[in-house]
């Protein structure tokens, strides 16, 4: 189902690229879930824009000592990329409502290791999906905009986990579908516009 929706989205993007020659460009800083940053770039005209979102690369590294000589070493890494389009409808002099679709993809990797005994757990997750974009944009000036949006989404997740304990390796695969508004489904974006208006 996700592949069908993503195919429809890509066909729509090709059609938009042919029908709507580039007039304006926007680049902005996106904040979601209060601690997740990304960069969003848009190109198109006043009514239809292609949008690309480069989500923050998240990483952590943590050492946790115990009473014994053994200690945990934990690490994680994650990043994502979205591409889609939005349609704009003016609702006031400096404000417009927009809606559209995003093809969503993300990857994350986690590792936890007991350093002395060699026990280790690693897991990797890839999560493609489709998001339905709903937002409001306010023009602070002719060059600066602020927007707020919700992106309800349908996500397929594939996770592969490997655990090594006492020299025995165990592998587990988990597949799931999720829908609704996740942690990054609500965001604020401050953007700068360059290029010519229609």
What are 117-128's pLDDT values in tens digits?
Answer: 667 888 999 999
pLDDT of residue 70: 54
Running DSSP on this structure, what letter comes out for residue 114? E
Question: How many Cβ atoms sit within 10 Å of the Cβ of residue 178?
Answer: 12
**Domain tally for the chain?**
1
**Containing structural domain, residue 108:** 2-195
**CB within 8 Å of 15: residues ≥ 6 apart:** none
Please give the mean pLDDT across all residues of the chain.
Answer: 81
pLDDT of residue 7: 54
Cβ-contact 119, 164 below 8 angstroms: yes
Per the confidence metrics, is the pTM higher than 0.85?
no
Which segments within the chain are labelled E, that is strand? 24-32, 36-44, 48-65, 71-92, 95-114, 120-139, 144-150, 153-165, 168-180, 186-195
We report the CATH number of the domain holding residue 177 as: 2.40.160
What residues of the chain score a pLDDT lower than 70?
A: 1-22, 34-35, 56-72, 115-118, 182-184, 196-198
Cβ-contact 50, 43 below 8 angstroms: yes
Cβ-contact 65, 73 below 8 angstroms: no
**CB within 8 Å of 168: residues ≥ 6 apart:** none
pLDDT of residue 63: 60
Q: Which of 45, 32, 4 is nearest to 150 (CA)?
A: 32
State how far the Cα of 101 lies from the Cα of 82, in Å rounded to an integer: 10
């Amino acid at each position: 189902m996700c592949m069908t929706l993503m195919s429809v989205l890509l066909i729509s993007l090709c059609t938009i690229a042919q029908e709507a020659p580039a007039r304006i460009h926007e680049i902005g800083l996106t904040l979601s879930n209060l601690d997740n940053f990304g960069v969003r770039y848009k190109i198109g005209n006043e009514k239809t824009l292609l949008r690309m979102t480069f989500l923050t690369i998240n990483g952590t590294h943590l050492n946790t000592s115990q009473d014994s000589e053994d200690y945990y070493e934990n690490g994680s890494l994650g990043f994502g990329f979205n591409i889609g389009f939005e349609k704009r409808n003016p609702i006031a002099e400096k404000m417009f409502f927009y809606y559209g679709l995003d093809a969503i993809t993300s990857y994350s990797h986690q590792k936890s290791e007991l350093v002395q005994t060699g026990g280790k757990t690693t897991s990797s997750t890839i999560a493609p999906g489709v998001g339905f974009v709903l937002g409001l944009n306010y023009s602070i000036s002719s060059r600066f905009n602020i927007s707020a949006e919700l992106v309800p989404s349908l996500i397929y997740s594939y996770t592969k986990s490997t655990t090594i304990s006492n020299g025995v390796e165990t592998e587990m695969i988990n597949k799931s579908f999720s829908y609704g508004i996740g942690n990054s489904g609500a965001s604020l974006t401050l953007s700068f516009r360059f290029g010519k208006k229609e």
